[in-house]
């Protein structure tokens, strides 16, 4: 890393320009809990590290209208957790983000970093996909917005072009009778990498599901939005037959790797189980149990 | 290559230093400022022995660049005692023998201080979760957890 330059950008424009000029050899630095480890171990050798934490848009949590949040990409777990309203509206997103690392890591690690690192097992991503988040991206050619489920194109690969940065995440306006849950399976109970992760986000009124989004992580090259799940769940009372049906769909769409942490069969089976548990937990949360 | 000038406040003293872009905060604390209480064990944020408090938040100093500290307030283990008097946590760690080799101890003390700063009366579960980012390979964790809980209890009584 001895040839690396450091720049603390104070505006989006400054960061984007510096990144564009570096022609692919720059990395944005938010919490640094992935990037510095990658640099130290030689996995990444950026010529320029652009610190984005001093950019206002990246470091703020804003309620732009009643129950509608925009969270900056460099906001840490500790800071998001302090926003009591956000925590109440999006318990699944918060629990997914808070599962990442120790208190020391939570003090630095950012929501945007977890997304941009591009791991198929990143814990926050299935929760954000289930939430229906939009990624706000800034680049040399201006701004663009894409649904978070389209952000990843392969392990470690995202849609970001040279010069582009993730600025913030826009959450949909939270409707009443809605909640979300993120569950993951890990070999250890804490501080481990997900073998399977599942995010579920539901609106459930008078015993009828009126909106549902289901996402799975660590079971394919990218986190998945299970579109078929929404079609079956919406309009139903989420009885056990419906959950069995969607659980089967979740398992059918799994395309995981086989490694020491989990076999293909195991990951696939667990995906179905986590979907059911996350759905039941979400219903409980909506009912206030 | 030009060095970066950084102005900080460390343990309540204004400290300016020059660093390389790739220096970690831990490198500068230990190698330049001679604050060697913070230890480097894993260098990857897993063990917590380099824990410091940065603008009120507990962080691993091995996982931040020294250049990032511009304008920040840092607390390290060297600032924990005041006027030669040990902090209550330091005293209790001694009394309870909550250490053996001592390499992890500065990190545990900074983490415990950060916990009590944020949450003066934690439950045992909260203490265990909070300290989960600090690894000790000698004592086990019971004595450490008990020491932190006792300090919290003492603090309540003294109010």
What pLDDT score was predicted for residue A149?
A: 98
What pLDDT score was predicted for residue B1?
A: 63
Q: Answer whether A275's CB lies under 8 Å from A217's CB.
A: no
Q: Tell me if residue A134 falls in helix, strand or coil.
A: strand
Residue B11 shares a structural domain with residue B34:
yes
**What CATH number did the domain enclosing B116 receive?**
1.10.150.120
Residue A123 shares a structural domain with residue A217:
no
Tell me which residue range forms the domain holding A9.
5-51
The per-residue pLDDT for range A27-48, each reduced to its tens digit, is 999 999 999 999 999 999 999 9
Q: B21 and A5 in contact by Cβ < 8 A? A: yes
What pLDDT score was predicted for residue A158?
A: 97
Indicate if the pLDDT at residue A25 is higher than 80: yes
Indicate if the pLDDT at residue A1 is higher than 60: no
**What CATH number did the domain enclosing B62 receive?**
3.10.20.30
Indicate if the pLDDT at residue A143 is higher than 60: yes
Average pLDDT of chain A to the nearest whole number: 96
Residue B70 shares a structural domain with residue B98:
no
Q: Domain boundary residue among A115, A144, A170? A: A170
Residue A43 shares a structural domain with residue A76:
no
β-strand A5-8 against A48-51: which pairing, if any? parallel
Q: Which of A32, A37, A191 sits opposite B132 (nearest CB)?
A: A191
What pLDDT score was predicted for residue A57?
A: 98
Q: Answer whether B8's CB lies under 8 Å from B72's CB.
A: yes
* pLDDT band for position A191 (cuts 50, 70, 90): confident
Q: Domain boundary residue among B35, B59, B79? A: B79
Q: How far is A19 from chain B (nearest CA, A)?
A: 17
What pLDDT score was predicted for residue A3?
A: 79
Residue A270 shares a structural domain with residue A184:
yes
Work out the average pLDDT over A68-76: 98
CA distance A272 to A220: 14
Q: Which of B21, B62, B114 sits opposite A6 (nearest CB)?
A: B21
Tell me which residue range forms the domain holding B115.
88-158
CA distance A71 to A81: 12
Residue B64 shares a structural domain with residue B19:
yes
Q: Answer whether A73's CB lies under 8 Å from A167's CB.
A: yes
Indicate if the pLDDT at residue A199 is higher than 70: yes
Contacts B62 to A, Cβ<8 Å? 36
* pLDDT band for position A2 (cuts 50, 70, 90): low
The per-residue pLDDT for range B37-83, each reduced to its tens digit, is 999 999 999 999 999 999 999 999 999 999 999 999 999 999 999 99
Residue B42 shares a structural domain with residue B102:
no
Among B1, B4, B45, the residue to mutate for chain A (most A Cβ within 10 A): B45
**What CATH number did the domain enclosing A23 receive?**
3.30.43.10
* Closest to A198 in 3D by CA, of A179, A215, A213: A215
Count structural domains, chain A: 3
Residue B61 shares a structural domain with residue B105:
no
β-bridge mates for residue A214, sequence order: A200
The per-residue pLDDT for range A164-179, each reduced to its tens digit, is 999 999 999 999 999 9
Chain B residue with Cα closest to A82: B118
Count structural domains, chain B: 2
Contacts B119 to A, Cβ<8 Å? none
Q: Domain boundary residue among A170, A204, A233? A: A170
Chain B residue with Cα closest to A106: B59
Contacts of A85 (CB under 8 A, 6+ apart): A63
Q: How far is B75 from chain A (nearest CA, A)?
A: 14
Q: How far is B144 from chain A (nearest CA, A)?
A: 17
The per-residue pLDDT for range B126-157, each reduced to its tens digit, is 999 999 999 999 978 999 999 999 999 999 98
pTM of the model: 0.95
DSSP state, A99?
A: T
Tell me the longest C-alpha to C-alpha distance in chain B: 55
Chain B residue with Cα closest to A192: B46
Q: Domain boundary residue among A51, A66, A86? A: A51
Q: What angle do CA B40, B94, B10 make, to 5 degrees?
A: 45
Average pLDDT of chain B to the nearest whole number: 96
């Amino acid at each position: 890393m001895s040839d690396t330059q450091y720049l603390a950008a104070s505006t989006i424009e400054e960061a984007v320009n510096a990144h564009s000029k570096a022609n692919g050899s720059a990395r944005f630095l938010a919490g640094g809990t992935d990037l510095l480890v990658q640099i130290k171990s030689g996995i990444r050798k950026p010529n320029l590290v652009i610190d984005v934490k001093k950019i206002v848009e990246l470091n703020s949590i804003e309620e732009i209208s009643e129950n509608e949040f925009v969270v900056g990409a460099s906001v840490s777990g500790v800071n998001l957790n302090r926003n009591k309203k956000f925590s109440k509206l999006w318990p699944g997103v918060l629990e997914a983000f808070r599962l990442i690392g120790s208190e020391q890591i939570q003090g630095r690690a950012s929501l945007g970093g977890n997304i941009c690192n591009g791991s198929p097992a990143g814990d926050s991503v299935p929760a954000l996909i289930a939430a229906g988040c939009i990624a706000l991206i800034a680049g040399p050619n201006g701004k663009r917005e894409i649904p978070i489920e389209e952000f990843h194109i392969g392990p470690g690969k995202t849609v970001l072009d040279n010069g582009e940065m993730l600025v913030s995440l826009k959450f949909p306006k939270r409707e009443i009778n809605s909640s979300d849950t993120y569950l993951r399976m890990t070999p250890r109970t804490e501080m481990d990498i997900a073998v399977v992760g599942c995010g579920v986000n539901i609106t459930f009124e008078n015993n009828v599901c009126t909106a549902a989004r289901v996402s799975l992580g660590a079971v394919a090259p990218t986190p998945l939005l299970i579109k078929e799940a929404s079609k079956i769940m919406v309009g139903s009372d989420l009885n056990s037959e419906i959950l069995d049906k969607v659980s089967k769909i979740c398992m059918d769409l799994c395309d995981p790797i086989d490694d020491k942490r989990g076999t293909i069969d195991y990951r696939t089976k667990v995906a179905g189980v986590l979907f059911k548990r996350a759905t039941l937990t979400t219903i409980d949360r909506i009912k206030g149990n | 290559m030009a060095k970066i000038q950084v102005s900080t406040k460390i343990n309540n003293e204004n400290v300016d230093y020059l660093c390389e872009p790739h220096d970690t905060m831990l490198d500068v604390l230990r190698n330049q400022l001679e604050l060697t209480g913070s230890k480097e064990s894993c260098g990857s944020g897993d063990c917590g022995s380099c824990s410091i408090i940065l603008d009120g938040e507990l962080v691993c100093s091995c996982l931040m660049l020294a250049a990032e500290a511009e304008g920040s307030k840092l607390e390290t283990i060297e600032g924990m005692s005041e006027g030669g008097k040990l902090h209550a946590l330091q005293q209790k760690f001694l009394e309870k023998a909550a250490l053996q080799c001592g390499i992890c101890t500065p990190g545990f003390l900074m983490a415990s201080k950060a916990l009590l700063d944020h949450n003066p009366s934690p439950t045992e579960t909260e203490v265990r979760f909070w300290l989960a980012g600090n690894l000790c390979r000698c004592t086990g964790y019971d004595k450490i957890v008990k020491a932190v809980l006792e300090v919290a209890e003492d603090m309540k009584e003294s109010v």
